[in-house]
Amino acid sequence: MNQMDIVNLLIPHDRKMPAKMEGHGYAPSNIALAKYWGKRNKTLNLPITDSLSISLFDKGTSTSIEASPYTHDMVILNDREIDSDTLFAQRISHLLNLFRPDPSFYFKITTINNIPSAAGLASSASGFAALILALNDFFQWELDDKSLSILARLGSGSASRSLWHGFVEWHAGVSEDGMDSYAEKLPYQWPSLRLGILIISNREKNITSREGMNRSQQTSPFYSAWPTQVAQTMEKLHTAIKTKDIELLGSAAEQNALAMHATMLTSSPAFCYWQTETLSQIQKIWQIRNEGVPLYFTEDAGPNLKLLFTDEISDIVRSEFRDVEIIAPFHLS
């Protein structure tokens, strides 16, 4: 099975021509509490394990799509045209290849991202999810959520989780074509839950998540323990979300993130997304916690930290971390 086979299975045959002048989509960024790290199929981005995330509500990507006036795709990110040689533009064109009405049709993509790109803040997730939503609108596919999630996954695995607000679970699935590997919104609200974004560096990382997870999976002797670790995290997260238990949610997410980073440190060659400042902030979080404050973190494939806590301690978080940006994921959702 290749990506085109999946597209042919999902998209109605009479919906292959644009139905409007422009299509639009918005998708929130998401932060995994149980991480996706490792694939059972690289072409289709099928994961080894389930994963579970929380969306960042109004931090995300808005995308518009129309026909390009040129004989190439145009990608405009935050008002600047991206060079077609960059990895970013190539990944977008590669996905768009699946949806061209004919080989001489090119797209113009205009996208606004209000989160720092490539700093481990899951911008590719909201980017590919917003692109699929914009395509769905442009071609009027009228696809259901499951199909949209599968298509978003073809762009980037974590994009399968970026179609909803709140908690989202991505089922790894077992089938070879991945038709059972899609995400779903969980039916739980937690209005007092907060995420704090601690930006340590906005610089582009030099190892993509894609490369990193592949290296961990291929070379880390710790990787064999990873699926069991995720299964345990998932169980704890489900209980924590149902009972609104921040200690359980925070400790499960933090341990999961550290276990993922342990597979990186033990890869060959080893790699590490942490900067000196990342570690000093982690030690600060642990110290604050030792003083009885329920503050936790998670970290993706980048140096930045995302704090996990509830509104009761927002004032403490603000005074301890001056530049933190606090997000209420259930605000108005």
Interface contacts to ligand DP6, rule CB under 6 A? 32, 35-37, 45, 51, 122, 124-125, 156-158, 209-210, 300-301
- Minimum distance, C-beta of residue 246 to ligand DP6, in the bound complex (Å): 21
- Name the CA dihedral angle for 170, 124, 308, 56, rounded to a multiple of 10 degrees: -90
Least distance from C-beta 289 to ligand DP6, angstroms?
23
| Buried-state track 318-330, b at ≥16 Cβ within 10 A, e below 16 | eebbeebeebbbb
CA dihedral 258, 259, 260, 264 (to 10 degrees): 90
Report the residue number, 131 or 288, with the smaller CB distance to ligand DP6.
Answer: 131
Q: Give me the amino acid identity at 103.
A: P
User: Least distance (Å) from ligand DP6 to the CB of residue 122?
Assistant: 6
Cβ proximity to ligand DP6: between 46 and 288 the closer is 46
| Closest approach of ligand DP6 to the CB of residue 215, in Å | 12
Q: Where are the alpha helices (DSSP H) in the chain?
A: 3-10, 87-96, 123-138, 145-155, 209-219, 226-243, 246-265, 276-290, 314-320
Q: Which is nearer to ligand DP6, 18 or 196 (CB)?
A: 196
> Which CB, 45 or 136, lies closer to ligand DP6?
45
Phi-psi region of 164 (alpha: psi -120 to 50; beta: other; left: phi over 0): beta
Shortest spacing between CB 111 and ligand DP6, in angstroms? 17
Distance CA 219, CA 88 (A): 26
CB of 301 to ligand DP6, least distance (A): 4
Which C-beta is closer to ligand DP6: that of 210 or that of 284? 210
**What is the smallest separation between the CB atom of 186 and ligand DP6, expressed in angstroms?**
15
* Contact indicator for 262, 216 with CB cutoff of 8 Å: no
Q: Looking at beta carbons only, is 46 or 295 nearer to ligand DP6?
A: 46
Nearest Cα residue to 34 out of 255, 332, 206, 208: 255
Q: Select the residue whose beta carbon is closest to ligand DP6 and give its number.
A: 157
C-alpha separations of 276 from 209, 226, 280, 299 in Å: 20, 26, 7, 14
DSSP lists the bridge partners of residue 34 as 52
> Which residue is it, tokens 């299964």?
231
Smallest distance from ligand DP6 to CB 69, Å:
30
Sign of CA dihedral 237, 239, 244, 249: negative
For tokens 């064109």, the residue is: 93
Cβ proximity to ligand DP6: between 119 and 324 the closer is 119
CA angle 171, 173, 175 (to 5 degrees): 160
The Cα 313–Cα 317 span in angstroms is 6
Smallest gap from residue 34 Cβ to ligand DP6 (A): 8
C-alpha closest to that of 154 among 119, 174, 116, 182: 182
Task: Name the β-bridge partners of 326.
Answer: 196
Of residues 35 and 236, the one with the C-beta less far from ligand DP6: 35
Please identify, using beta-carbon distances, which residue of 254 and 300 lies nearer to ligand DP6.
300
